Structures are given as C-alpha cells and as structure tokens.
A and B are shown apart, each in its own frame.
Chain A
Amino acid sequence: MRYESPQTVEAASALLAGEEGLARVLAGGTDLLVQMRSGMVEPDLIVDVKNIPAMTSITEENGGYRIGAAVPSAEMNEHEGLCALWPGVMEGADLIGSTQVQGRATMVGNLCNCGPAADSVPGMVAANAIATIIGPNGRRDVPVIDIPVAPGKSTLAKGELVESVFLPARPKRAGDAYLRFIPRTEMDIAVVGVGVSLELDDDGICTDARVGLGAVAIKVLLVEDAAKALIGSKLDDASLKKMAAATSAACKPINDKRGTIEFRTKVAGVLATRAAKIALERANTRASNGGEK
C-alpha cells in the first residue's frame, strides 16, 4: 500500500489515473479507514487530498459558495455566510456522526461513498449543488444527484476526483431544511432523510422547489413529482398533502431491523412536509431580513 499527499488536484488525478491496482481518495477517512480496518477495501494507493489548497478552502463565488471537497463538516458549520445561505445543507452535514467525526468528515466523502442514507446528500440534491470533477480529460461540472449509483459505486471514472462543491446564490425569499428519522437522538444512521429547498416570489407563491430523499432506495433520489406539487402553490395544506404523497410514492425501501417498508414510506411523506414547513419559515425570515439570514 502506498500513501501520497499531493499539493494540486491535477497531481492527485494523475496519481489516481496511473495506479494499476485499487486507488482511493482519502478525505476525512471516516468511511475509508473503517472500511480498510474491516477488510472491506484494500487499496494499493491512498491519495490524501487534505494538502491541496483548492480542496481545503471555502470561497465566495457569484453570491454562492464553493466548498473544497476536503473541508470538514465542523469547519463548514462555523462559516456564517454558508449557514445563512444554505442552512438545510449545513444541518444535514452537521448530523454526520459525533463531534470527533465532524472534525474530519466531508460532504464529498459522504457523497462519493454513495451510501443511500448519507445525511448530507439529500440537502445537496435539494440545493442543486454542482460538483466540480477533475480527471485525466480535464474538468467537468456535474449535479450532485448524478454521482452516486449504488452503495460504494459512483459515476466517477478512473483518475477522477471531486475538487469542490458549489452551492449557488439564491433569491431573497428562499430557504431549505433537512430532517432525518433515527430511533435515537444522536449517532445513528437515517431510516429516512429528506431535504427540501424552496424559492418563493414576493406574494409567497412557490416558484421553484426541489426535494431530495435518502435511505429509501438504492441511492439518494430527487423527487420531481414532490417539487411539482409545491410549485405554483403557497404551500397550503392541499399542496403539502400532494407533495407528501408524491414523496412516499417515490420510496423503494428495504425492510430491516431499523424500519419496515411501510414505516419508511409513511415517514418519508411526514418528514417531507415538516421539512417544507421549516424551509418556508426560513425563506420568510430571510426575506424579512432583506435576504440576509
């Protein structure tokens, strides 16, 4: 096993592309080290990306934020601008593990590990976050929803890695929220997770909505029918009910000791409704503060 710690994304990509055996990016290591320890993966090459400046910084860009793929959740959640603009994405990331895990874990690691219950992914999907990918053929921008395929399997090609994730600017009356159901209060894996992002006009009519849904299918889903139920409405009870039904209908969950199919399907609709209400409240608060928080 080899360990490399390159200084640039291009060098990281070249290392990954040049390895004949199994190569793995190391961000926070909170998935990778556990998998290595249990013998689930035995990489021939580990490429630590925490010494690459473009991957370890948060920068403002066109009124939104570009978050380096190696920035840990704890650091994001200390960033006032990010927490004000995308509170739902931040609260999803903030649910990943303990304080200790937060100090290392990244959203991009959460995304590229491709777990269906990854807590930061539904929020990013709802936000329409865009991942910038660097590979042997250069750079490409891809919506986060297009990266996971199935547990442990992504659409990244050999030699490719995510450099950063971009969260765009948003209008004044906009808000997002993430909620998950777990049987405990902390330190557990989502049985269902829902992220909702809303944009409204000055009359309070929803002009855009996105709903990301986790832990109820082979990968995180974007539920377009749920969004359609909200767009054009004022989030009245009838639209919320339609949205909840569409969310439940999108579920293809498994039965396991943590939740039955029936339970997960029902809870998905309930959480989506609650998350939409929180997102609405945040949008209105933000608008009344002139789009500041």
Chain B
Amino acid sequence: MSGIHVSTKINGDAVEYVCDVEETLLDVLRDKLGMTGSKEGCASGDCGACSVTVDGRLTCSCLMLGAEAQGREIGTIEGVAKGTELHPVQQKILDNAALQCGVCTPGFVVAAKALLEKNPDPTETEIRYWLAGNLCRCTGYDKIIRAVMDAAAEMRGN
C-alpha cells in the first residue's frame, strides 16, 4: 500500500499530495485536502454530485483515481466564485430558489458552468441533456434549468 506522490493544479494553485492507489480524486479532495464542496452521492458515476473539470473537461471525481490527477488541471466548486462574488450560475440558482438540501448543487454549478463555457446560448433541451448526469432528489429540476437559462442570458449580456 505504498503512497503515490502527486503534483497537480487545483483551481489554478499548485497542489501536492500523497494518496493510496485506490483512493479516488473525490476521496483526496474531501478527506486529504479538506475541499468538501464536491459531494459523494453515489460513488458510481450516476449522480454527478462529485463533478469537477479535468483539463477543462467535465468529469465525475468519483470515477477517477487521485493518482490520475498528476500533471492535470483540476477545477472544483471551490474555484467557481471569485472571493465573495458568486458566479452567475450560483447567483441564479439562489434567485430561482433552485436548491433545497443542496447536496446536488455543487455538481450542477460545475456542470452548468462547463456547458456555458462551451455553448453560451444553449436551448432548454441542450441544457437538460447536458445535465442528465446530475441528479436532484429535491427540486424537480425545473428551477435548476431555469436558473441555468437565466445565467446564460446574463452572461451573454441580455
């Protein structure tokens, strides 16, 4: 059970850690680095609560080993707000009351932000398909979808 030394970048900052082979990136974020924003809903890739970006690509951090982060750039929910200034997706989720328990919210924010960076003007259907891997047991999704559409509109400047 030898530890693996990993050098990576998380939210733009150089980070080093030692992890066991079987530890997922989600385990490392939460248990080693104290970054508990990413949630574990299922640990099997089904719920999206653990969503992060790896070299810009949306990924479930529960489906990736901590060791695989070597040399990559990881983006987590902790890097989304700039200080106290919320990202438009976060602000619109609040404005639309698009969360209840909040467990799914970090995953939705990371996933929606990744969508809007790729496609600033998605249709409702495109948003629903993009977010199909993010499960929410509380809200019924509609408010979340509306929040993402509002955020997209605001980011486009209208």
Q: Which residues of A contact B4 (CB under 8 A)?
A: 3
Most buried by B among A1, A5, A38, A104: A104
Q: Which of A34, A99, A100 has the most CB of B within 10 A?
A: A100
Q: Is the CB of B133 within 8 A of A97?
A: yes
Within the assembled complex, what's the spacing in Å between the Cα atoms of A1 and B57? 28
Q: Write the chain A residue with the least CB distance to B114.
A: A99
Residue A74 lies at the interface, judged by CB distance under 8 Å to chain B: yes
Q: B58 touching A50 by the CB < 8 A rule?
A: no
Tell whether, in the assembled complex, residue B21 and residue A1 are in contact, meaning their CB atoms are under 8 Å apart.
Answer: yes
Residue B99 CB within 8 A of the other chain? no
- Contact at B133–A33, with CB atoms within 8 Å? no
Q: Mark B104-145, 1 if CB is under 8 A from A, else 0.
A: 000000010011000000000000011111100000000000
* A36-B22, A48-B68 known; A104-B63 Cβ under 8 A: yes
Check: B100 CB closer than 8 A to any chain A CB. no
Count of A-B contacts with CB under 8 A? 87
B75 CB to closest chain A CB, in angstroms? 12
CA distance A143 to B80 in the complex (A): 45
B20 cross-chain contacts in A, Cβ below 8 A: 1
Given contact pairs A1-B22, A3-B21, A100 touches B58 in the complex (Cβ within 8 A): yes
Instruction: Say whether, besides A29-B65, A97-B133, A37 and B58 are in contact (CB < 8 Å).
Output: no
Q: A104 contacts B64, CB within 8 Å?
A: yes
Please state if A101 and B21 are interface contacts (CB–CB under 8 Å): no
**Among residues 81 to 134 in chain A, which have CB atoms less than 8 Å away from a CB atom of chain B?**
97-101, 103-104
A30 — which chain B residues lie within 8 A by C-beta? Answer: 45, 63
Q: Say yes or no for A20: interface residue by CB 8 A criterion.
A: no
| A34 with B48, Cβ < 8 A, contacts A100-B133, A186-B132 known | no
Q: Does A193 contact B (CB under 8 A)?
A: no
Q: Within 8 Å CB of A104, what residues of B?
A: 57, 59-60, 63-64
For A2, A33, A37, A72, the residue with the greatest tally of chain B CB atoms inside 10 Å of its CB is A33
Cβ contact within 8 Å between A50 and B111: no
Query: Can you name the residue of chain B whose Cβ is closest to the Cβ of A48?
Result: B68
Which residue of the partner chain, among A3, A26, A38, A186, contacts B129 with CB atoms under 8 Å?
A186
Q: Does A238 contact B (CB under 8 A)?
A: no
Q: Contact between A33 and B63 (Cβ–Cβ < 8 Å)?
A: yes
Measured between beta carbons, the chain A residues less than 8 angstroms from B130 are 99
Query: A46 an interface residue at 8 Å Cβ cutoff?
Result: yes
Chain A residue contacts of B46, Cβ below 8 A:
187
A residues near B71, Cβ cutoff 8 Å = 51
Bound together, the chains give a CA A33 to CA B59 distance in angstroms of: 13
How many Å from the CB of A45 to the closest CB on chain B? 9
Q: Please tell me if the beta carbons of B64 and A46 are within 8 angstroms of each other in the complex.
A: no
B67–A5 touching, CB < 8 Å? yes
Of the candidates A2, A100, A187, the one whose C-beta lies within 8 Å of that of B59 is A100
Closest to B133 in A: A98
Q: Is B43 an interface residue (CB 8 A)?
A: yes
Beyond A1-B22, A99-B111, 12 extra complex contacts between A and B, CB < 8 Å: A1-B1, A5-B70, A26-B65, A33-B65, A34-B63, A97-B133, A98-B45, A101-B133, A103-B57, A103-B59, A104-B63, A187-B133
14 A-B pairs whose Cβ atoms sit less than 8 Å apart in the complex: A2-B2, A29-B68, A30-B63, A37-B43, A48-B65, A74-B57, A98-B48, A99-B58, A99-B115, A99-B132, A100-B51, A186-B132, A187-B132, A187-B133
Q: A residues near B, CB below 8 A?
A: 1-3, 5, 26, 28-30, 33-34, 36-38, 46, 48, 50-51, 72, 74, 97-101, 103-104, 186-187
